[in-house]
Amino acid sequence: MKVKKNFKNLEDYLWIVLGAVITASGINIFLVPYKIAPGGVSGIATVLYYLSGERLPVGFIMLFFNIPLFILGIRFIGKKFVIKTLLGTILLSLTIDMSRPIGNYIVEKYLINPDINGSSPDILLYSMFGGLLMGIGLGLVFRSGATTGGTDLAARILNPFMTSLTLGQTLLLIDSCVIVFAAIVFQSFQLALYAIVALYISSKIIDAILEGVNFSKALFIISDMSEKIAPRILKELDRGVTALKGTGMYTKDDKQVLLCVVHRGQLTMLKRIVREIDEKAFIILTDIREVLGEGFKK
């Protein structure tokens, strides 16, 4: 048990390192060079970086602003969580500053080279890829049970009190305020729109990593011929079927409601099976973000 726990902790720390590297790549290559500040402490650091005449490193500014959030994190979340967050934040700050020369080289040689793509960089495309990399990196860090500090940590603190929002949506709400601040300082409504694009993509990728991307379908089948439908689903689709007891409130008749979860590719076949047996069957179809258990993900 102890060995398994130590292996899990090691795995978490490796995800934190990988997430910090991916996030730093998105910031250095696609966001900071074009004044795209998609919220968070990284957005604030981007603004201050340019206000300082590019003298204050982005990573250093981020680390400085995270100090008060760490204090809140210790109070509201716990020391064990903050240890991982401290690691993630320090790694991200160091990675951003240490890899800055590499990022500059990539930007100058491949992204703004007039011989390759003309004199005007495609900032919309860069904001999309910046948001994609940030989302992947932050999602991996979140999945390990940590954050990279900043509004990521603020989202972790507030999310339990905002039950109607996912973690990514909470982060989106907080970071919107930072985008407004950046738009005012840079005096550019266009840059704010690019930042919103990056932030939106980032939040969606975070949710996909935390909640799963392999969508399945759940079906509720109401039919008088449930006893014939269920065996065919079990045999032809190799999917489990659960019979729920239901009562029609209009007819007062007792009926079996079949519940079945299938992969998207099996949906057409399942509906065909139901229609072949009972054309009057009532089918309710809904999306399932993640399914854990036999026949699906462990």
> 161 in a domain, yes or no?
yes
Residues 79 and 58 in one domain: yes
**Both 52 and 121 in a single domain?**
yes
Q: How confident is the model at residue 117 (pLDDT cuts 50, 70, 90)?
A: very low
Give the domain extent around 38.
Answer: 2-211
256, containing H or E segment:
strand 254-263
Question: Does 93 share its domain with 127?
Answer: yes
Residue-by-residue DSSP string for 32-91: GGGT---SHHHHHHHHHHHHTTS-S-HHHHHHHHHHHHHHHHHHHT-HHHHHHHHHHHHH
Please tell me which residue, 102 or 119, carries the higher pLDDT value.
Answer: 102
Q: Which of 282, 244, 290, 245 is nearest to 263 (CA)?
A: 290
**What per-residue confidence (pLDDT) applies to 152?**
66
For residue 227, the one-letter residue type is E
Q: 43 and 180 share a domain? A: yes
296 belongs to a structural domain: no
Give the pLDDT confidence score for residue 194 in this predicted structure: 95
pLDDT in tens, 39-76: 889 999 999 999 999 899 999 999 998 887 777 777 66
- Decide if 297 is inside a domain: no
Distance CA 83, CA 105 (A): 33
pLDDT of 172 strictly over 80: no
User: What letter does residue 266 receive in the DSSP assignment?
Assistant: G
Count structural domains, the chain.
Answer: 2
Tell me the backbone φ, ψ of residue 105, rounded to 5 degrees.
Answer: -65, -45
Instruction: Judge whether residue 96 has pLDDT over 90.
Output: yes
Q: Is-contact 135 154, C-beta < 8 A?
A: no
Express each pLDDT in 261-294 by its tens digit: 887 778 888 888 999 999 989 999 887 767 676 6
Residues written for the chain: 298
Distance CA 226, CA 242 (A): 11
Residue 191 C-alpha from the chain's centroid: 23
Q: Quick one: 197 and 112 in the same domain?
A: yes
What integer best gives the mean pLDDT of the chain?
A: 83
> Does any domain span residue 12?
yes
| Co-location of 200 and 223 in the same domain | no
Q: Is the pLDDT of residue 248 over 60?
A: yes
Domain presence at residue 174: yes
pLDDT band at 114 (very low <50, low <70, confident <90, very high): very low
230 and 194 together in one domain: no
For residue 62, which amino acid is it?
A: M
- Among residues 153, 182, 211, the one where a domain terminates is 211
Could you tell me if 138 and 15 lie in one domain? yes
Of 211, 238, 267, the position where a domain reaches its end is 211
Question: Are 250 and 150 in a shared domain?
Answer: no
**Using CA atoms, how far apart are residues 20 and 233, in angstroms rounded to an integer?**
45
Question: Of 170, 185, 211, which residue sits at a domain end?
Answer: 211
pTM of the predicted protein model = 0.74
Kindly state whether residues 228 and 110 are assigned to the same domain.
no
Domain annotation covers residue 190: yes
Is residue 158 very low, low, confident or very high in pLDDT (cuts 50, 70, 90)? confident
Give the Cα separation of 56 and 49 in Å (integer).
6
199 & 226 share domain: no
Which string of b and e fits 196-213 if b means at least 16 CB within 10 Å? bbbbbbbbbbbbbbbeee
* Residue 293 maps to a domain: no
Q: Judge if 221 and 195 occupy the same domain.
A: no
Mean per-residue pLDDT, 228-238: 89
- Evaluate whether residue 294 is within a structural domain: no
Tokens of 107: 């930007």
- Output the domain CATH number for residue 233: 3.30.70.120
Cα separation, 44 vs 38, in Å, equals 9
Q: Name the helix (H) or strand (E) containing 246.
A: strand 241-247
